[in-house]
């Protein structure tokens, strides 16, 4: 099962991705997570990517495209994968489609979580990352996934870890706007990538505005 998931930063894409990963038993490959892990470990890739990420810009395609295409060759991807955060622009969509054609692979689902830009921005600023598992959803502005208060401190609502933090790029309004400029650009940006697949394969669109439970129910209904 090969799946792409699209949605602006703040649409709940990561949360829905974690649920899809569980449902289909495929690895959840998140470009942003791979970059952040490399930055933490101070690898060559991480050092190259850091400045772009801090400014809310895309890491150049010549770094990102081979990184993802290589990742899809790994052993755990044999039975399928869920790609999240890639492709992010039209050029990456074309590179992916070409690589899939060459490998004789097809896309089973392309999912788009649609959300208004202003709503997405507010949600990003409330997002908190759990150090134990970045798939534990916590957001101080969304009631359904609010972190829990314990001894005057906010802790992860899933595992209780007190290691909750905001990503620096989530608190930077300029960087958020830049990321959204890229996502909502339907000429060469991410929406152009979605449209590229819309012309080739079925794109399943769900409204990202309701709560997590409603969005995942709507998605589950469309996936069956
Ligand atoms: P995310 O966690 O998806 O918000 O990604 C964080 C940052 O990683 C983005 O703002 C970009 O700087 C970089 N990034 C993630 N995915 C890509 C991609 N497909 N192409 C280029 N840069 C990316």
Q: How far is the CA of 153 from the centre of ligand 1 (A)?
A: 30
* Higher-confidence position of 48 and 212: 48
Query: If pLDDT is split at 50, 70 and 90, which confidence band does 10 have?
Result: confident
What is the residue with the minimal CA distance to atom 6 of ligand 1?
32
Residue 157 in any domain: the answer is no
Residue 17 in any domain: the answer is yes
Residue 160 in any domain: the answer is no
Rounded Cα gap, residues 73 and 76, in angstroms? 8
Residue 36 in any domain: the answer is yes
Q: Find which of 118-122, 145-149, 210-214 is predicted with most confidence, using mean pLDDT.
A: 145-149
Domain count for the chain, please give it: 1
Residue 69 in any domain: the answer is yes
Query: Has residue 43 got a pLDDT over 80?
Result: yes
Query: Has residue 118 got a pLDDT over 80?
Result: yes
Residue 147 in any domain: the answer is no
Residue 34 in any domain: the answer is yes
The tens digit of pLDDT for each residue in 131-190 reads 999 989 899 888 888 999 999 999 999 999 999 999 887 888 888 898 899 999 999 999
Question: Given this model, what pLDDT does residue 71 score?
Answer: 94
Other beta carbons within 10 angstroms of residue 88's beta carbon come to 21
Q: Which atom belonging to ligand 1 lies closest to the Cα atom of 55?
A: 12
Question: Given this model, what pLDDT does residue 34 score?
Answer: 95
Query: If pLDDT is split at 50, 70 and 90, which confidence band does 208 have?
Result: very high
Question: Given this model, what pLDDT does residue 122 score?
Answer: 86
Tell me the residue range of the domain where 48 lies: 2-116+177-223
DSSP result, the chain: -EEEEE--TTSSHHHHHHHHHHHHT--EEEHHHHHHHHHHTT-HHHHHHHHHHHTTPPPPHHHHHHHHHHHTTSGGGTT-EEEES---SHHHHHHHHHHHHHHT---SEEEEEE--HHHHHHHHHHEEEESS-TTS-EETT-GGGPPEEETTEEE-TTT--S-EE--GGGS-HHHHHHHHHHHT-SSSSHHHHHHHHHTTS-EEEEE-SS-HHHHHHHHHHHH-
Residues whose beta carbon lies within 6 Å of some atom of ligand 1:
9, 31-32, 35, 52-53, 56-59, 64, 85-86, 88, 92, 179
Residue 82 in any domain: the answer is yes
Query: If pLDDT is split at 50, 70 and 90, which confidence band does 54 have?
Result: confident
What is the residue with the minimal CA distance to atom 3 of ligand 1?
32
Pocket test for ligand 1, best of 13, 59, 60 (most atoms within 8 A of CB): 59
Mean pLDDT estimate for the chain: 93
Q: Which atom belonging to ligand 1 lies closest to the Cα atom of 35?
A: 8
Full-model pTM: 0.84
87: domain CATH number?
3.40.50.300
Q: Which atom belonging to ligand 1 lies closest to the Cα atom of 84?
A: 3
């Amino acid at each position: 099962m090969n799946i792409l998931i699209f949605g602006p930063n703040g649409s709940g894409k990561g949360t829905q991705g974690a649920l899809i990963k569980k449902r289909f038993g495929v690895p959840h490959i998140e470009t942003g997570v791979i970059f952040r892990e490399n930055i933490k470990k101070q690898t060559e890739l991480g050092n190259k990517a850091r400045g772009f990420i801090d400014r809310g810009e895309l890491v150049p395609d010549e770094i990102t495209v081979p990184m993802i295409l290589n990742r899809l060759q790994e052993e755990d991807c044999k039975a399928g994968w869920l790609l999240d955060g890639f492709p992010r622009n039209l050029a990456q969509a074309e590179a992916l489609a070409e690589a899939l054609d060459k490998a004789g692979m097809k896309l089973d689902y392309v999912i788009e979580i649609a959300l208004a830009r202003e709503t997405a921005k507010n949600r990003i600023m409330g997002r908190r990352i759990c150090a134990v598992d970045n798939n534990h959803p916590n957001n101080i502005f969304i009631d359904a996934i609010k972190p829990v208060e314990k001894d005057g401190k906010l802790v992860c609502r899933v595992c209780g870890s007190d290691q909750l933090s905001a990503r620096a790029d989530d608190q930077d309004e300029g960087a958020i706007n830049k990321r959204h400029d890229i996502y909502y650009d339907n000429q060469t940006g991410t929406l152009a990538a979605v449209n590229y697949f819309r012309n080739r394969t079925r794109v399943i669109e769900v409204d990202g505005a309701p709560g997590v439970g409603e969005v995942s129910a709507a998605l589950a209904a469309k996936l069956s």
